[in-house]
Structure 1
Amino acid sequence: MADTTTGSTEQSTVPRWRIVGPGLVVAATGVGAADLVATLIAGQKFGYTLLWCVVVGCVMKIVLVEGAGRYSLATGRTIFEGWRSLGAWTTWYFGPYIVIWGFVYGAAAMAGTGLALAGLLGGLSVTWWGILSGLLGLVLVWSGRYGVFEKVLAAFVGIMFVTMVGAALLTLPNLGELLTGLAPRIPDGGLVNTLALAGGVGGTITLAAYGYWLREKGWDTPSYMRVMRIDNSVAYVVTGLFVLATLVVGAELLYSTSVAIESGDQGLVDLGVVLQDRYGEWAGKLFLLGFWAAAMSSLVGVWNGVSLMFADFMTNLRGGTSEDPDARAGGKWYKAYILWLTFPPMVMLFLGKPVWLILAYGVLGAFFMPFLAITLLWLLNTDRVPREWRNKLHSNVLMVLCALAFLALCVNEVRKAVVGA
């Protein structure tokens, strides 16, 4: 979204088919089961009225991810190093957040994948399918080999895209009504849904992992700036089409027939049943396969990307630098966080989620997107970044709008977490 520069020799050597990589990873990781349910429920409640929010959400994420990538490429520093340059307060926020977030997210991710596999294959309980998924995620990312990780995520994206777009085409969407949804309007009682849909297109903490995936890919200098922007934009266009397909399914199968689904991951299982009843068992199974791919891509992406962020955080906290082996994939802190994501949360699958932990998770998590937007504005408008790569007017306007939207979502999420409403 920021100003472009002339190409480079390094860029020209990147084959066209390799230009899309880390962006697809960050987008696939960010679109999980919770985002699918939020989109389906928006379609169930309001039809195509909130379609424009999908477009806005994609633009918001392109802006923020481009900013994170631009900072990393322009400075050669990680986003945590950038945050740390803003003062100790960023460390005091990020440290507790990444520890609590990982514990609660680990349980939620395993539960989501477990629910999909229990519906798809049966034989085991949701808990045990979830545990197996967590262990599979651990195996896939343990070595820290980015090339393998990227190929796995690309496969999941392919499954997600084919199954959800296929389900949307199966419903024979009303193109006239679909196009009317591009006109911005907020239905009565739909403000929260509007903000949630716009804010939920493609990730939270994983947006900040983009710079780490760029580095693992080998794109680590300003000469890759144009490639990064193409990568990021293409990835979120794909994500937008995927979320659009989800909204179509919600609008055509649920809104038009007044069928309601539950909130939470169970809503996706409910939709699988609706598809099965209308089109046959194969349609329900195919959708559940896509549900599993979406949940599993988020799990595997977090197991890798957020572990990279934690490794960088711990290494810097202990006096090292982001170039140290311990701050990279395969290092001790990277592996420690993968273990933290996998094994302690298994207890929550058996015993349930402590209320105080969920409260802390909700409150800390609600602040992350405003934190990211505001700190990027700060970093990209100061001498922490070379002048040619700082924000221009249009980038600042878009980032301020993102920050305001996420602040509004933050206030709503904190209110819900505190009062339980």
Structure 2
Amino acid sequence: MKLSQFGPGALVAAAFIGPGTVVTASLAGAEFGYALLWALMLSTVICAVLQEMASRIGVITGKGLGENIRSQMTSPWLRILFFTLIIAAIVVGNSVYQGGNLSGATLGAKEVLGQVPLLSDWFAQGWPLVFGVLAAAILWQGKAKFIEYALITLVLLMSLAFIGTFLLTDPNWLGVADSLLRWRWPSDSIITVIALVGTTVVPYNLFLHSASVANKWSGDEGVKNARTDTFISIPLGGLISMAILATAASAFFAQGIVIESAGDLAVALAPLFGDSAKYLMALGLCAAGISSATTAPLASAYALCGIMGWKQSLTGFAFRAIWATILVLGVVISSLGLSPIKVIWFAQVANGILLPVIVGFIWWLCNQSTMGRMKNSVVGNAFAAIIMLTSIVLSWKSLHHVWLSITS
């Protein structure tokens, strides 16, 4: 498989390694050391299997997940259910999360460029606009290959930054291996484990992936290419996430250092491992913010256009209007330092409901006659059953956590 044939899988990797993943993995490493590396490894396996099924649907049917929902769900009530969940979880959710993506990119850039006199005063409000315009420029090109190359570049940049930072922290390799081979649940770690799975297995990536491969490949050979792309890109993304967690474990857990936000990460590394570690971490955070700020609006446009029956063209008016709206909202939220807690809670509830519903739909569709010889195997269905159970548990725990947050 040539390098030019990669792409959709890299979009997914670029999407789930955002500032939220950086913070979640770092907090997990700082609080529990290497102990939860297994959770990220398991999350990566679940993500790869689920994304492979979604991509297979896209290749065989020639349609994205949103289009398949629209064509398969003949009941008006089911269509309304999916439409409501997609609007709430993906469109509204990505709008508020977009502010965090741009803020993360700004925090990373601040550590690298914040000492430049003419730039330092601009970071509070100006840089979210700069990164928003950059994401818009990537998407406005309207060429799938250009978008794929841009995001592949960002994934490679994150690999260099986060894995490089990990190596600079002089990790305990025996501790890393022990965590991957012996799965343990430290006390009070259940919410962190759920967060690690939740930040890797993301509903909107299923829409992004299936629509992207539907426009790129077809037939049995297309399924083969999509699988290769998925099973290289997703594990690379998982490796980056594990490197972030292990970096925090090496740097902060052993030293008893407490971190509370993304802004603490790079700053706290400098006294321990020098400016090289600080700048690499900051560069990775900036790249993570830009990659997620680009893929979140793109996924929202694919999902909404698909479910509404609108043309899923990168240059279409409706498609561009959707991603542009989400980008603008993200810039406003980030620039003004807003924290729309109630809207975020609403989006989390919708995501908690959407995940098992979407997993169930993908599992069902992968066993239909429309998939031909590419239907799920017995082994594939066994994996799907485990993932379905995991998504239900994850959904229940997520909803319970949101409920406790609201009522406390």
SS in structure 2 of the partner of residue 154 of structure 1: helix
Identify the residue that residue 352 of structure 1 maps to in structure 2.
338
1:59 equivalent in alignment to 2:45: yes
Cα pair 1:116 1:291 within 8 Å, conserved:
yes
TM-score (normalised: structure 2)? 0.90
Q: Which moved more, 1:107-116 or 1:303-312?
A: 303-312
Amino acid at match of 2:314: A
Aligned to 1:103: 95
Matched residue type, 1:290: G
| CA deviation after TM superposition for structure 1 residue 175, in Å | 1.4
Spell out the pairing of 1:1-400 with structure 2 (5 A cutoff).
15-84=1-70, 85-86=72-73, 87-88=78-79, 89-122=81-114, 123=120, 124-182=122-180, 183-201=182-200, 203-216=202-215, 218-262=216-260, 267-314=261-308, 316=309, 326-349=311-334, 350=336, 352-383=338-369, 385-400=370-385
**CA distance in structure 2 between the aligned counterparts of 1:310 and 1:260, rounded to whole angstroms:** 40
Q: Partners of 2:337 and 2:39 in 1: how far apart?
A: 37
Q: Is the 8 A contact 1:105 1:341 kept in 2?
A: no
Structure 1 residues 132 and 192, CA, compared in 2 at 3 Å: closer, same or farther? same
Deviation at 1:181, TM superposition (A): 0.4
Task: Give the C-alpha shift of residue 202 in structure 1.
Answer: 5.8
Deviates more, 1:286-295 or 1:16-25: 16-25
Whether the 8 Å contact between 1:47 and 1:250 is mirrored in structure 2 is: yes
Contact 1:208 1:372 in 2 (8 A): no
C-alpha separation in 1, matches of 2:145 and 2:39: 33
Q: Secondary structure at the match of 2:315?
A: coil
Q: State the match for 1:9 in structure 2.
A: none
Segment of structure 1 superposing worse, 248-257 or 89-98: 89-98
Post-superposition Cα deviations, 1:287-343, rounded to whole Å, max 9, x if no partner, equal: 1011101111111122333323333333x1xxx6xxxxx321110111101221122
**2-structure distance, mates of 1:23, 1:409:** 24
In the alignment, residue 336 of structure 1 is paired with which amino acid?
A
Q: How far apart are 1:45 and its partner, in Å?
A: 1.7
The 2-side partners of 1:224 and 1:286 are apart by: 37
Aligned residues: 392
Q: Give the letter for the 1:288 counterpart.
A: A
Matched, 1:404 2:396: no
Residue 220 of structure 1 and its aligned partner are, at CA, apart by 3.0
Secondary structure at the residue paired with 1:147? helix
Amino acid at match of 2:225: V
Equivalent-residue separation in structure 2 for 1:406 and 1:340 (angstroms): 30
Kindly, what percent of the aligned residue pairs are identical?
24
SS in structure 1 at match of 2:159: helix
Q: Deviations over 1:108-133 (max 9, x none)?
A: 22222222222322222333211221
CA spacing shift, 1:312–1:370, aligned 2, 3 Å: same
Q: 1:308–1:329: 8 Å Cα contact kept in structure 2? A: no
Q: Is the 8 A contact 2:7 2:149 kept in 1?
A: no
In structure 2, what is the Cα distance between the partners aligned to 1:229 and 1:377? 17
In structure 2, relative to structure 1, the CA distance for the partners of 1:46 and 1:308 (3 Å cut) is same
Looking at structure 1, the residues matched to 62 and 389 of structure 2 have their Cα atoms a distance apart, in angstroms, of 29
- Seen in structure 2, the aligned counterparts of structure 1 residues 241 and 355 have a Cα distance that, compared at 3 Å, is closer
Work out the CA distance in 2 between the residues paired with 1:394 and 1:185.
Answer: 26
TM-aligned CA deviation for residue 345 of structure 1: 3.6
Residues 107 and 348 of structure 1 are in contact (CA less than 8 Å); yes or no, is this contact kept in structure 2? Answer: yes
Contact 1:27–1:203 (8 Å) recurs in 2 = no
- TM-score, structure 1 as length reference: 0.87
Give the deviation of 1:248 after TM superposition: 1.4
Q: State the distance in 1 between where 2:277 and 2:98 align.
A: 29
CA change 1:113–1:64 in 2 (3 A) is same
Query: Superposition RMSD on alpha carbons, in Å?
Result: 1.9
Which one-letter code corresponds to 2:43 in the other structure? G
Distance 1:175 1:354 in 2: 41
Q: Deviations over 1:63-92 (max 9, x none)?
A: 110010111112222211222213323223
Equivalents in 1 of 2:249, 2:102: separation in Å?
28
How much has 1:364 moved relative to structure 2?
A: 1.0
CA distance 1:106–1:48, change in 2 (3 Å): closer
Higher relative contact order (CA 8 A, sep 6+): 2
1:286 to 1:202, Cα distance in 2 relative to 1, 3 A: farther
Deviates more, 1:243-252 or 1:343-352: 343-352
Residue identity in the other structure for 1:328: S
Q: Distance in 2 between matches of 1:40 and 1:298?
A: 18
The C-alpha deviation readout for 1:21-51, integer Å capped at 9, x for no partner, is 2111211111111111111111112212112
CA distance in 2, matches of 1:50, 1:23: 25
